[in-house]
Amino acid sequence: MRTLLQPEKRMGPHERAEKSRGSLVNAPQNPANSLVVVIRVAFRPGIDPFAEIDNVIQRVGHCWFGKIGKPISPMRMIATEDSASFAVLTMPTPGPTGGLSKAAVRTSRTYEILDASSSRPADGAYPAYYESSLRQMRTWLKLQPSCCLLSLDELRVLTSGRSALDTLVRCSSAHLFCSAESRA
């Protein structure tokens, strides 16, 4: 049986073992029983949102990701004893001239969701480039790197059963609720 999980090379085991206090996720990372929210990240020339998020995580151990647009209920993000919650942040891959590539070519990162809120985080642990759009952010997800890498083509949208990658190409939704799929 083939699994969709692959260890990410950017984080060592000692880093993964260190959890933030007050984590909502106390369960083992088992994507088969987990909620995965796929979120489109806006392309901003000259800004690498993944590097910005990772810099905040390096500095304070977590990063609050601010989502603009339709809010996500924080209660929907809470993990249970048997499951974890993941966020797969994705954006079109910038081409060599700085423009966007074809819609199906995407850069994605998998994070574990530690907490969720509709209020701006008091600790200020979010990327500095957010300052100009803080009032527009209606959902905040407290993230830390995941030891799992979830593939967009093996995530299934809960409402349709279609692949998340295919759905991202065909619709304009800012986020999708998905489940992980394993194939034999």
Per residue in 133-147, pLDDT (tens digit) is 888 898 999 999 988
Average pLDDT, rounded, for the chain: 75
pLDDT given at position 103: 52
pTM here is: 0.74
Q: Tell me the C-alpha distance between 179 and 163, whole Å.
A: 10
Q: What angle do CA 133, 124, 129 make, to 5 degrees?
A: 35
- Name which of 147, 100, 133, 138 is nearest 120 in CA terms: 138
pLDDT given at position 45: 81
Q: Tell me the C-alpha distance between 179 and 151, whole Å.
A: 11
Mean pLDDT to the nearest integer, 69-96: 74
- Name which of 69, 155, 73 is nearest 108 in CA terms: 155
Tell me the backbone φ, ψ of residue 164, rounded to 5 degrees. -65, -40
Q: What angle do CA 147, 150, 156 make, to 5 degrees?
A: 145
Mean pLDDT to the nearest integer, 100-120: 80
Beta bridge partners of 165: none
Quick count: other Cβ atoms within 10 Å of Cβ 20? 18
Decide if pLDDT at 95 tops 80.
Answer: no
State pLDDT tens for residues 9-51: 333 322 333 333 233 333 445 566 678 999 988 878 888 999 9
Mean pLDDT to the nearest integer, 40-65: 92
Decide if pLDDT at 63 tops 90.
Answer: yes
- Name which of 111, 53, 115 is nearest 79 in CA terms: 115
